[in-house]
Amino acid sequence: MKIAEIADKLGLEVVNEGQWEREAKCCYASDMLSDVLANGGEGCLWITRQSHPNIVAVAAIRGMAGIIITGGKQINPDTIEKAGQEQVMIFSTPKQTCELAGKLYMLLSNEMERG
Amino acid sequence: MRIYWADLHIHTCLSPCAELDMTPKRIIKRAAAKGLDMIAVTDHNSAGNLSAALGCAEGGAVAVIPGMEITSAEEVHILALFETIDSAAEMQRQLYDGGDFPPDAGHKAFGTEQVIVNVADEILGFEPRLLAGASSKGLEDIIGAVHALGGLAIASHSDRESFSVLSQLGFFPDDAMFDAIEVTGKKPDTLLPAQFPRLHSSDAHSPDMIGRKKTGFMMEAPTFRELAMAIKGEGGRGIRG
């Protein structure tokens, strides 16, 4: 499913613009960046509460489709700047991780079950 | 100048994960028995037992540096070392006034009391805040606050599997403003930026752990200022093992 469609359906707020036309194939939820570096899948939307600038590099290294920061957190300006440089899409939502992950999984379940 | 041996990461009975017999008096006795010249008392997110620790150390062979192990919003542990108790207390005030670590009986779920004691090992009270929690301040903000108070910011067990820069942030940001990093040797040193001085400390939570790991500092005296110079490699001071 296209990122633009997902953002619309989940009411995500755009923090950093990027590749709207890109397809998200899967999602991954984790706040430990070492875990995401090891296991975050290419083309996945990544759900986290972390907003440290390192999230941008981790998403870029893993070729992830974008980052959704949950819990309505204030986002570090350095993170937004890095995301601009790396063209990594970042969204924010006041929803907590579990609720957002559940909704996102429902949207992507066909893609994810196909693997 | 000579080499002073220091263990700069020791918890007291105030830390939720430390044993109750980690009273300042016993810690200092054990540190002296292990031949340490200097220790830092670094409870999780609290300066509550520093006054007892410094009081116990007065006139003795082991110098005590007031410190605190602060948990950032990313759940990275940061050792903050200060010249005075007042600076450590001010750091604590900034955390608590900012709404971090609200009073909450939740700490009892961790199975131990968070005990505040005096120099005679007598119980003064129990800390009601959940010291095992995390600050709302990010890593850079905490390092900035420590530096503004003249303190040293050290990445705790930076290569460990939990609560470390590597576990929480995936890789070590080159531009982090740490003065030094504590290493455990669990991961290849190449994962850690070369520019940070390496320290070894015990992260003791029980008396037998005190001094198991230590760092030698070439300096004039076991004081905070000398330590800061040694970490920064100034005036002929330095780290020597």
Q: Per-residue pLDDT tens for A13-58?
A: 999 988 888 899 999 999 999 999 989 999 999 999 999 999 999 9
In order, the DSSP letters of B148-171 are HTT-EEEETTTTSSSSSHHHHHSS
| Interface predicted TM-score of the whole assembly (ipTM), two decimals | 0.78
Please state which of the ranges A49-53, A107-111, B10-14 shows the lowest mean pLDDT: A107-111
Check whether B241 has a pLDDT greater than 90. Answer: no
Predicted structure pTM score: 0.90
pLDDT of residue B106: 63
Mean local confidence (pLDDT), B197-208: 97
Q: How confident is the model at residue B104 (pLDDT cuts 50, 70, 90)?
A: confident
How far is Cα B96 from Cα A35, in angstroms, rounded to an integer?
31
Q: In terms of C-beta density within 10 A (0-12 exposed, 13-18 middle, 19 or more buried), how is residue B108 classed?
A: middle
Q: Which two tokens stand for residue A77?
A: 């300006």
What size, in residues, is chain B?
241
* Contacts with A8 (C-beta within 8 Å, 6 or more apart), sequence order: none
A52: nearest CB among B166, B167, B169: B169
Q: Per-residue pLDDT tens for B141-162?
A: 999 999 999 999 999 999 998 8
Contact A54 B166 (CB under 8 A): no
How far is Cα A90 from Cα A15, in angstroms, rounded to an integer?
5
Instruction: Name every chain B residue with its beta carbon within 8 A of the beta carbon of A34.
Output: 166-170
DSSP E strands in chain B: the ranges are 2-10, 38-44, 63-71, 77-81, 115-117, 123-126, 152-155, 180-182, 198-199, 215-219, 238-239
Mean local confidence (pLDDT), B115-124: 95
In this structure, the number of other CB atoms found within 10 A of the CB of residue B232 comes to: 14
pLDDT of residue A21: 84
Q: C-alpha distances in angstroms, B29 versus A81, B16, B159, B212?
A: 51, 22, 30, 15
In this structure, the number of other CB atoms found within 10 A of the CB of residue A43 comes to: 16
Q: How confident is the model at residue B76 (pLDDT cuts 50, 70, 90)?
A: very high
Q: How far is A49 from chain B (nearest CA, A)?
A: 9
Check whether B105 has a pLDDT greater than 90. Answer: no
Instruction: Name every chain B residue with its beta carbon within 8 A of the beta carbon of A31.
Output: 75, 168
Amino acid, res. B240: R
Q: How confident is the model at residue B113 (pLDDT cuts 50, 70, 90)?
A: confident
Contact B171 A51 (CB under 8 A): no
Topology given in CATH for the domain delimited by B2-239: TIM Barrel (3.20.20)
Mean local confidence (pLDDT), B118-133: 92
pLDDT of residue B109: 61
A52: nearest CB among B74, B166, B167: B74
A52: nearest CB among B138, B166, B167: B138
Q: How far is B123 from chain A (nearest CA, A)?
A: 37
Q: In what helix (H) or strand (E) does residue A44 lie, and over which residues does it extend?
A: strand A44-48
Amino acid, res. B110: F
Q: How far is A110 from chain B (nearest CA, A)?
A: 30
pLDDT of residue B52: 98
Q: Per-residue pLDDT tens for B26-65?
A: 999 999 999 999 999 999 999 999 999 999 999 999 999 9
Q: How confident is the model at residue B68 (pLDDT cuts 50, 70, 90)?
A: very high
Mean local confidence (pLDDT), B161-189: 92
Check whether A74 has a pLDDT greater than 90. Answer: no
Domain positions in chain A: 3-114
Please state which of the ranges B55-64, B71-80, B130-139, B217-226 shows the lowest mean pLDDT: B130-139
Mean local confidence (pLDDT), B154-179: 93
Q: What are phi and psi of B57, to 5 degrees?
A: -80, -15
Topology given in CATH for the domain delimited by A3-114: 3.40.1390
Among candidate residues B61, B122, B69, the one with its CA nearest the CA of residue B91:
B69
